[in-house]
Structure 1
Amino acid sequence: MVYDRIKQQMMDTLPFVRLLGIRIDAIGNGTSEVSMPADPKLNNHLGTQHAGALFTLAETASGAAMAGAFADLILGLRPVAKESRIQYQKVAKGATRASGRVPGDIAALKAALSTDGKVAFPVEVDVFDEHGTLAAQVQVDWYLSEKR
C-alpha cells in the first residue's frame, strides 16, 4: 500500500526521528498517528518529556499527515515546513503520541497545486501523554512545490 511506502520512506530519510525512537504508526488520507517511547534520555529537568522531543514528535506527525494527503503525488513534490507554532498545555509524562490532520478540502489543495505548481496549507497536531492528557497543540504550515 502507498501509505506503508510513505512510512518506510520517512523512516529511512529522517535519522533524527529514528534517534528519538519516534515511530510512524499510521498514515491515512491527510491523517497520521505517531508515537514516541518513554525514555529518560528524552526528559527535561522535571523528569517529563523535553519540549524539543515533543516538537519533533508533532512535526513528524504533521509531515506524515501532509504526505498522506498527497500520497499519489508526493514523490514528485518538494515539501518544506514553512512555519510552526506550538502551544504547550501540560507536562507530558511517559510515552507520547501525536495525531496529525490536514484540515479542510484536500481535493481543493490538490487542484491548487495542479493549477499553480505549488500550494501552502496548515497541518494541525495534538500531542498526548501516556495518560491521554493533551500536552501540546501544534500547527505546521507546509509549502509544496513540484520538483523541477
Structure 2
Amino acid sequence: MVYERIKQHMMETLPLVRTLGIHIDSIGPGTAEVSMPDDSKLHNHLGTPHAGALFTLAETASGAAMAGGFAELIMGLRPVAKESRIQYQKVAKGATRASGRVPGDLAALKAQLAADGKIAFPVNVDIFDQEGTLAAQVTVDWYLSAKR
C-alpha cells in the first residue's frame, strides 16, 4: 500500500526521527499518527520531554499527514517545511503522540497544485502526553513543487 511505502521512505531518510525513537504509527489521506517513547535522553531539566523533541515529533506528524494527502503524487514532489508555529499548552509527561491533519479540501489543493505547479498550505498537529493531556498545538506550513 502507498501509505506503507511513504512510512518506510520517511523512516529511511530521516535519521533524526530514528535517533529520537519516533515511530510513524499510521498515515491516511491527509492524516497521520506519530508517537515517541518516554526516554530520559530526550528529557529537559524538568525531567519531561524536551521542547525540541516535541517539535520534531510534531514536524514528523505534519510531514506524514502532508505526504498522505498527496500520496499518489508525493514521490514526484519536493516538499519543504516553510514555516512552523508551536503553542505549548501543558507540560507533557511520559510518552507522547502527535496527530497531524491537512485541513480543508484535498481535491481542491491537488487541483491548485496541478494548475500552478506549486502549492503552500498548513498542516495542524496536536501533541498529547501519555495521559491524553493536550501538551502543544503546532502548525507547519508546507510548500510543494515538482522535483527538478
Fold shared per TM-score above 0.5:
yes
Matches within 5 A, 1:27-42: 27-42=27-42
Aligned to 2:98: 98
Aligned to 2:70: 70
Matches within 5 A, 1:76-115: 76-115=76-115
Q: Which runs of 5+ in 1 are unaligned?
A: none
Matches within 5 A, 1:52-67: 52-67=52-67
Matches within 5 A, 1:101-140: 101-140=101-140
Aligned to 2:3: 3
The one-letter amino acid of 1:76's match is G
Give aligned-pair identity as a percent.
82
The DSSP-based 3-state class of the residue aligned with 1:63 is helix
RMSD across aligned positions (CA):
0.3
The DSSP-based 3-state class of the residue aligned with 1:82 is strand
Q: Which runs of 5+ in 2 are unaligned?
A: none
CA distance in 2, matches of 1:42, 1:94: 10
CA distance in 2, matches of 1:108, 1:119: 11
The DSSP-based 3-state class of the residue aligned with 2:5 is helix
CA distance in 2, matches of 1:142, 1:91: 27
CA distance in 2, matches of 1:117, 1:147: 10
The DSSP-based 3-state class of the residue aligned with 1:91 is coil
How far the C-alpha of 1:147 sits from its partner, in A, is: 1.1
CA distance in 2, matches of 1:92, 1:18: 21
CA distance in 2, matches of 1:75, 1:17: 19
The DSSP-based 3-state class of the residue aligned with 1:17 is helix
CA distance in 1, matches of 2:89, 2:121: 24
The one-letter amino acid of 1:80's match is V
CA distance in 2, matches of 1:76, 1:5: 14
How far the C-alpha of 1:26 sits from its partner, in A, is: 0.1
* TM-score normalized with structure 1 length: 1.00
CA distance in 1, matches of 2:91, 2:26: 25
The DSSP-based 3-state class of the residue aligned with 1:111 is helix
Matches within 5 A, 1:16-35: 16-35=16-35
Aligned length: 148
CA distance in 1, matches of 2:10, 2:103: 22
